Amino acid sequence: MWCRGIRGAITVSENTKEAIIAASKALLQNLIEANEVEVSDIACILFTTTSDLNAAFPAAGARELGWTQVPLLCGHEMNVPESLPSCLRVMVLFNTNKKNEEIIHVYLGDAVTLRDEGERIWQGEGRK
């Protein structure tokens, strides 16, 4: 088995605890489903938000999903001028037999603009 990373991002509708946690849960559920990941195979999850999202820790969404044994860490993204606002990003590290090119990265809402156009597979679109 290898430790692989899944990238994902979602825009959050407003800076409230409810909106941040709901977005976090939606993103995590999409990532896990798209990649057929068992929670017990997750090594850790890194969450970042843009500085305009500070009403809650997005890791609370994982805890609400019952992921109590997964190490979680939250932080803020660099404050880059003209970057996408109200954005929550994740990096899920998990153990798998999949190759890097088999990993499906998930970008939801306005975060679809963050995708690079390299040789990757994006949710619902097949190989780019």
Burial class of 18 by CB neighbour count within 10 A (0 to 12, 13 to 18, 19+): exposed
| Average pLDDT value for residue range 67-78 | 97
SS3 call for 30: helix
Q: 109 falls in which pLDDT band (50, 70, 90)?
A: very high
Beta-bridge partners for 37: none
Q: Which residue bears the tokens 């997005």?
A: 58
**Considering the chain, what is the average pLDDT of its residues?**
92
pTM, to two decimals = 0.90
CATH of span 2-121 = 3.30.1330.40
- Residue 114's pLDDT is 87
Taking a C-beta distance cutoff of 8 angstroms, is the pair 42, 93 a contact? yes
> According to the model, what pLDDT value does residue 69 have?
97
What is the mean pLDDT of the segment spanning 62-77?
A: 98
121 has pLDDT over 60:
no
Extract long-range pairs of 62-65: CB within 8 Å, 24+ residues apart. Answer: 62/24, 62/25, 62/28, 64/21, 64/25, 65/25, 65/28, 65/29
Domain map (residue ranges) of the chain: 2-121
Assess whether pLDDT exceeds 80 at residue 124.
no
Beta-carbon count within 10 A of 104 CB: 21
